[in-house]
Amino acid sequence: MTPGALALLVRRELSRSGGALATAGFGILAGTFALAFFVALGLGARAVLLGDVFPLDRVELEPEARPEPGLLALLTGRGKAPPGIAPEAVERLSRHPGVAAAYPKLKFAFPSGAFGGKEIIGRDVGTHEMLADGVAPALVAPDIKGPTPFEDPLARGGAACSVDSDCASSEYCELPSDAARGQCSAPVPVIVSPYLVEIFNKGIAPAHGLPQLGMTLVTRAQGVTFRLQLGVSMMGAAKRGKSRDVKARLVGVSRSALDLGATLPLPVVERWNREYFGPEAATRPSSLLLRTKTAADVASVVQAGAAEGLVARDSRARDVSVLVTSTIALLSLVAGTMLVVGATNIAHTFRMLVSERRREIGLYRALGATPGDIRAWVLALAVAVGVAGGLAGVGLARVAAWLVDLLAATHLPDFPFKPASFFLFPAWLVVGAAAFGVGFAVTGALFAVRRAVKIDPMEALGSG
């Protein structure tokens, strides 16, 4: 049978039995719709949660928590040095086969505050208790888009100074507590996390009547400095050294930055920890950020860290991944059940169709049609029903997703990381969902195909 003749037979049968075939294809449409809609929703949730909020391709390891230092140590500031990771452990973990890169991080070991922002949001804001850490510049280099590099400003050298007025207007005098003379320094570069920007936009800004900044914060902040207060906060003074102010400049937004705080170049934090706490707080990283080769390597890396006495700082990424994957699997199972029901309807409809066309099929066989021609005719009809139901289901899923996004945009309040769309429709999902519809339609028609090719021409023409 030529392709043209096959197409003619399929078109004629669709015209003759359109109502019955449409009813049979409704199950395929419903199943394909559910599959595309639920998987797209799961992929959208995964893209936001595991892309912006909880990156899955990295793990941060830190020493296990030790006993509390006690009230007296807290009040006198005489606690032990913050726990750190031995250089040997850092080296061993860096060589782990599942690790693509390792980056040490070091927390502030002293109290501090931060004040400024008038040039960006209209008035100065700040905190007397600032959380901050330092990271290797190589970790965040791809995130820095402006002209200011993320590095220790003192690495470029500077004139000797005693006070800020000895330096250029854009600089300050970096004068350690135990030094008689300091060095003129450009403002220390600082980065923040997108999580902090979202919290400010959706929580802090509305509560205090401040404008939202969004991701334009970096562009608007270039060249704008703020003040860091080192060695003192509302909770007290540092273990050693004298409090002083330094200049800082926001230079970027990075997922590698501290969630609720500021992140500086690692050499700067090492220098300040040494000044305000002692050398023991500057020689060992407080945590180690490991970028894994694949998401599947995270488990083995965490296990290797446990052997070094280290624990994952945050397991939310893995928990969210398991939850999202389980939810997608459950909803896909529901969609698969609907497709099975659709295939059952297809089987019933095609069985009745073959029974009704028994004499016609017998005539085709008597005129020279082979069993393969009959098989091609019935299967082509099933493919046509599957393609129509599958494409309609995917299209309906896209429309339903658009309506959900529209309702969310107009009725849901802003919240951190609220996406423009809750759904993600990659090309493979569209093609795959439609292909599933075709596959189940063909599967449902297989029994009818077997009956059709076994029809004896003489018996079919002789009956009735």
212 and 235 part of one domain:
yes
Max mean pLDDT among 35-49, 134-148, 152-166, 293-307 falls in: 152-166
Instruction: Indicate if the pLDDT at residue 263 is higher than 70.
Output: yes
Three-state SS annotation for the chain: CCHHHHHHHHHHHHHHCHHHHHHHHHHHHHHHHHHHHHHHHHHHHHHHHHHHHCCCCEEEEEECCCCCCCHHHHHHCCCCCCCCCCHHHHHHHHCCCCEEEEEEEEECCCCEEEEECHHHHCCCEEECCCCEEEECHHHHHHHCCCCCCCCCHHHHCCCEECCHHHCCCCCEEECCCCCCCEEEECCEEEEECHHHHHHHHHHHHHHHCCCCCHHHHHHHHCCCEEEEEECEECCEECCCCCCEEEEEEEEEECCCCCCCCEEEEHHHHHHHHHHHCCHHHCCCCCEEEEEECCHHHHHHHHHHHHHCCEEECCCHHHHHHHHHHHHHHHHHHHHHHHHHHHHHHHHHHHHHHHHHCHHHHHHHHHCCCCHHHHHHHHHHHHHHHHHHHHHHHHHHHHHHHHHHHHHHHHHCCCCCCCCCCCCCCCHHHHHHHHHHHHHHHHHHHHHHHHHHHCCCHHHHHHCC
242 and 330 part of one domain:
no
Report which of residues 199 and 247 the model is more confident about. 247
271 and 394 part of one domain:
no
pLDDT digits (tens, 9 = 90+) for 397-445: 999 989 988 888 787 666 555 667 788 888 888 888 888 878 878 887 7
Cα dihedral value 458, 461, 462, 464, nearest 10: 160
| Strand 182-185, strand 160-161: pairing | antiparallel
240 and 331 part of one domain:
no
State which of 248, 282, 313 marks the end of a domain: 313
29 and 91 part of one domain:
no
268 and 325 part of one domain:
no
329 and 401 part of one domain:
yes
Q: Which domain holds residue 30?
A: 3-52+321-462
CA pair distance 397, 284, nearest whole angstrom: 53
Q: Rounded mean pLDDT of the chain? A: 77
State which of 284, 313, 342 marks the end of a domain: 313
pLDDT of residue 78: 47
164 and 46 part of one domain:
no
Number of domains in the chain: 2
- Copy the structure tokens of residue 415: 């919240």
456 pLDDT band (50/70/90 cuts)?
Answer: low
- 83, 99 contact by CB (below 8 A): no
378 and 306 part of one domain:
no
133 and 274 part of one domain:
yes
Share of the chain above pLDDT 90, in %: 14
State which of 313, 330, 346 marks the end of a domain: 313
74 pLDDT band (50/70/90 cuts)?
Answer: very low
| 204-222: average pLDDT | 55
Instruction: Indicate if the pLDDT at residue 214 is higher than 80.
Output: no
pLDDT of residue 39: 84
409 and 282 part of one domain:
no
Report which of residues 169 and 316 the model is more confident about. 169
Instruction: Indicate if the pLDDT at residue 15 is higher than 70.
Output: no
294 and 330 part of one domain:
no
